[in-house]
Amino acid sequence: MTADQRPKLHGLDMLTEKGRAEWDAAGMQVSVLAESPYKKDFPLLAANPQLAFLDSAATAQRPTAVLDAQRSFYETMNANALRGLYKLSVQATEAIEAARAHVATFLGLSERDACDILYCRNTSEALNLVAYSFGSMVLKEGDEVCITVMEHHSNLIPWQQACARAGAKLVYLYPDEQGFISEDEMRAKIGPRTKIVAATHVSNVLGVCNDVALMAKIAHEHGAYMVVDAAQSVPHMPINIPELGCDFFAFSGHKAFGPFGIGVLWGRHDLLEAMPPFLTGGEMISSVTEQDAVWAPLPEKFEAGTQDAAGIFGLDAALTYIEEAGFEALQAREQALVNVCMHRLGELEFVRIIGPDDPAAHHGAISFNVCTVHPHDVASILDMDDVAIRAGHHCAQPLLAYLNVESCCRASLAFYNDSGDIDKLIRGLKHVYSMFHG
Amino acid sequence: MAEGNIYSAALMEHNAHPDYKYEMDDPTHVHEGVNPSCGDQITLALRVEDGVITECAFTGSGCAVSQASTDIMADLVTDETVETAQHLADLFMKMIRGEADEDELEELGEAAELKGIALMPARVKCAELGWRTLDVILKDQA
């Protein structure tokens, strides 16, 4: 790889030794990245100081506050919510509903909209709910569903399947060389035949943030509906659903510092009212006869079976943790870390970064390849040096095919990382390269 | 570096200079092996004459572990009978499960360098790819 084939990193040349003062003066405060004030809040990180955990886009670490909340739920209010008529069950129900209102305000909605917040297992389940219940309601033969080529399989397969069931066509939006989907591309693909536009808010591979508000606007101009997969955006930026103007919005707790197994779907009230249920069974009915049933009102209509109340309580605590730390501080730190990481990767002539040149466009995720070394070898060797990254196709095979990359490595950063983690990554990559080219 | 490093000098050498990675003319048996989750892919070719593997070669792409392990395997089974090759394939799988004893490891020669893969569940499929592909040919065709 020659120097001019390597990606150019705009505005980062100041981060050489001599430029450090300028960088600090520019407000990036490299020195404060040396030690993370957050690691102490995360027991796994605190207990493993040698570990550079750079896979938060796969699943984040959990703060003590979340773990304590889950434990405290089981210790102080464990009962099956909704069902019981005794104090514990009432308390559990109240905890679930208070968390629901919290999720609503966290997403920029009002507490009154809490009934449109549906609990599910994760983003995949939320998107399957939309593809099945809403897809089956609106999709007809000859219609089009428009998604992006950078979808995680969880926002791709459900639409492939929904299209196959309805005889509809799946249409793709493609990004430019920097990973951005232009308005022209949106206007070329979203048209009168489009019924649903479904897009990832932030790409789990490229890190780019799609302009889902613009997609929603264009979709609505054509009478189509907008579904947002926010699994990768919720951990990284404040969300305001009314500003996005979408019709459905899904995210997972575990990527947002909350527990595994709890996810959220928000849907527009009138659409949720009109949709048939997805899963059926206990607690999602008003009344049942031998041959028929009447569905419960929202949100219970979409919440069959016993909910993971402790998980919901933990998610509530995760959102509180983010709010108390403040998105502004978290984002500034994360961005500074991404700036440093991309700059240092850019200094390695054997590393090719995949995705936009601008570090501000990465939202924590930096995908790359090491010249002539398979990503799985890179990840295995980094693991020997206690550096945890993801390698493979990142559940985004059509994107990698589009980029003409068989597989790649991904380091993903969160605010709890520090520059020491980046040092370990860089040292580890030099080790990888020397093993293959030493 | 921690224990269980499978990236030995021998493995790196087989990866950098695979002697058996070429297109064979007129093989008697060909089979493709893939690891869908990681994209490792090999096409294994054998020439079997009178019950003896007189030539073994492969083409393909993938991680160092999959490519080197296949090259080591090809070296090991060349000029061996089909029965011996099957025995070695069974031994390799036994080693991967962490069940092979010292004598058996000795039989596997250089392939025994991959013993440590038993401690790396995520990479087992890479090390096995060549051997699994060979196993299919030996069981179904040879």
- Cβ–Cβ under 8 Å, residues A292 and A282: no
pLDDT of residue A35: 86
Judged by CB atoms closer than 8 Å, whether chains meet at B61 and A406 is answered as yes
Each residue's pLDDT, cut to its tens digit, for chain B (142 residues) gives: 344 588 999 999 999 999 999 999 999 999 999 988 777 899 999 999 999 999 999 999 999 999 999 999 999 999 999 999 999 999 999 999 989 999 999 999 999 989 988 888 889 999 999 999 999 999 986 6
Q: How far is CA A161 from CA A68, A128, A164, A279, A377, in A?
A: 40, 10, 5, 17, 34
Residue B24 lies in a domain: yes
Q: Is the pLDDT of residue A55 over 80?
A: yes
d(CA B21, nearest CA chain A) in Å: 17
Residue B64: its chain A contacts at CB < 8 A?
373-374, 377, 436
Beta bridge partners of A387: A52
Distance of CA A83 to the CA centre of its chain: 33
Q: Which residue of B has its CA nearest to A431?
A: B1
- The token pair that represents A399 in the structure block: 């994107």
pLDDT of residue B142: 63
- Model confidence band, residue A5 (pLDDT cutoffs 50, 70, 90): very low
Residue B4 lies in a domain: no
pLDDT of residue A85: 85
Answer whether CATH 3.90.1150.10 is correct for domain A3-33+326-437.
yes
pLDDT of residue B1: 39
Q: Which residue of A has its CA nearest to B38?
A: A392
Q: In this structure, is the dihedral angle defined by the CA atoms of residues A301, A306, A308 and A309, taken in order, positive or negative?
A: positive
> Rounded to whole angstroms, how far apart are CA atoms A16 and A377?
30
The average confidence (pLDDT) of chain A is 92
Q: Reading across the β-sheet that carries A390-392, which strands appear in turn? A: A351-354, A365-370, A408-412, A390-392
CATH of the domain at B103: 3.90.1010.10
Q: How many domains does chain B have?
A: 1
Judged by CB atoms closer than 8 Å, whether chains meet at B12 and A435 is answered as yes
Residue B120: its chain A contacts at CB < 8 A?
380
Q: Pick B128 or A81 by higher pLDDT.
A: B128
> Rounded to whole angstroms, how far apart are CA atoms B85 and B67?
18
Q: How far is CA A154 from CA A69, A160, A206, A218, in A?
A: 29, 11, 16, 23
- Model confidence band, residue A250 (pLDDT cutoffs 50, 70, 90): very high
Question: Of the listed A115, A120, A395, A409, which one is catalytic?
Answer: A395
Q: Taking CA A253 as the corner, what is the angle to CA A251 and CA A256, rounded to the nearest 5 degrees?
A: 90
Q: Which of B61, B62, B123 sits opposite A380 (nearest CB)?
A: B123
Span A334-376, pLDDT tens digits? 999 999 999 999 999 999 999 999 999 999 999 999 999 999 9
Q: Single out the residue of A70, A71, A99, A76 nearest to residue A88, CA to CA.
A: A76
> Rounded to whole angstroms, how far apart are CA atoms B101 and B96?
12
Residues of chain A that touch chain B, judged by Cβ-Cβ distance less than 8 Å: 373-377, 380-381, 384-385, 392-393, 406-407, 435-436
Judged by CB atoms closer than 8 Å, whether chains meet at B16 and A436 is answered as yes
Residue B6: its chain A contacts at CB < 8 A?
380
- Model confidence band, residue A34 (pLDDT cutoffs 50, 70, 90): confident
d(CA B60, nearest CA chain A) in Å: 13
Contact pairs from chain A to chain B, CB under 8 Å: 41
Q: How far is CA A402 from CA A151, A172, A405, B112, in A?
A: 12, 11, 8, 39
- Cβ–Cβ under 8 Å, residues B114 and B47: no
**Number of H helices and number of E strands within chain B?**
5, 3
Judged by CB atoms closer than 8 Å, whether chains meet at A377 and B61 is answered as no
Residue A437: its chain B contacts at CB < 8 A?
none
Give residues with Cβ within 8 angstroms of A326, minimum separation 6: none
Largest CA-CA distance found in chain A, in angstroms, rounded: 79
Beta bridge partners of A171: A146
> Rounded to whole angstroms, how far apart are CA atoms A328 and A238?
9
Q: How far is CA A357 from CA A33, A339, A369, in A?
A: 22, 11, 15
- Model confidence band, residue A20 (pLDDT cutoffs 50, 70, 90): low
Judged by CB atoms closer than 8 Å, whether chains meet at A436 and B64 is answered as yes
Structural domain including B14 reads 9-140
> Rounded to whole angstroms, how far apart are CA atoms A21 and A113?
48
- What DSSP character marks residue A50? T
> Rounded to whole angstroms, how far apart are CA atoms A217 and A220?
5
pLDDT of residue A164: 98
pLDDT of residue A11: 35
Q: Is the pLDDT of residue A243 over 70?
A: yes
Q: Pick B110 or A84 by higher pLDDT.
A: B110
Residue B1 lies in a domain: no
Alpha helices in A190-227 (DSSP H): 212-221
Residue B12: its chain A contacts at CB < 8 A?
435-436
Q: Which of B16, B37, B120 sits opposite A392 (nearest CB)?
A: B37
Q: How far is CA A345 from CA A56, A144, A341, in A?
A: 18, 41, 6
Question: Which residue intervals of chain A bear CATH 3.40.640.10?
Answer: 66-323
pLDDT of residue A23: 52
Judged by CB atoms closer than 8 Å, whether chains meet at A435 and B1 is answered as no
Over residues A106-112, the mean pLDDT reads 97
Predicted TM-score of the model (pTM):
0.91
Q: Residue A65: helix, strand or coil by DSSP? A: helix
Beta bridge partners of B45: B30, B57
d(CA A343, nearest CA chain B) in Å: 26
Residue B120 lies in a domain: yes
Respond yes or no: is residue A341 known to be catalytic: no
DSSP character string of A154-179: GGTHHHHHHHHHHT-EEEEE---TTS
Judged by CB atoms closer than 8 Å, whether chains meet at B38 and A407 is answered as yes
- Model confidence band, residue A178 (pLDDT cutoffs 50, 70, 90): very high
Over residues A170-184, the mean pLDDT reads 97
Judged by CB atoms closer than 8 Å, whether chains meet at A374 and B120 is answered as no
Q: Which residue of A has its CA nearest to B61?
A: A374
- Cβ–Cβ under 8 Å, residues B31 and B137: yes
pLDDT of residue B140: 81
Q: Is the pLDDT of residue A119 over 90?
A: yes
- Cβ–Cβ under 8 Å, residues A296 and A282: no
d(CA A224, nearest CA chain B) in Å: 35
- Cβ–Cβ under 8 Å, residues A414 and A60: yes
Tell me the fold of A66-323: Aspartate Aminotransferase; domain 2 (3.40.640)
Q: Reading across the β-sheet that carries B52-61, which strands appear in turn? A: B29-35, B40-49, B52-61
Residue B15: its chain A contacts at CB < 8 A?
436
- The token pair that represents A251 in the structure block: 């995210």
Residue B64 lies in a domain: yes
d(CA A307, nearest CA chain B) in Å: 32
Residues of chain B that touch chain A, judged by Cβ-Cβ distance less than 8 Å: 1-2, 5-7, 12, 15-16, 37-39, 61-65, 120, 122-123, 126
Span A309-331, pLDDT tens digits? 999 999 999 999 999 999 999 99
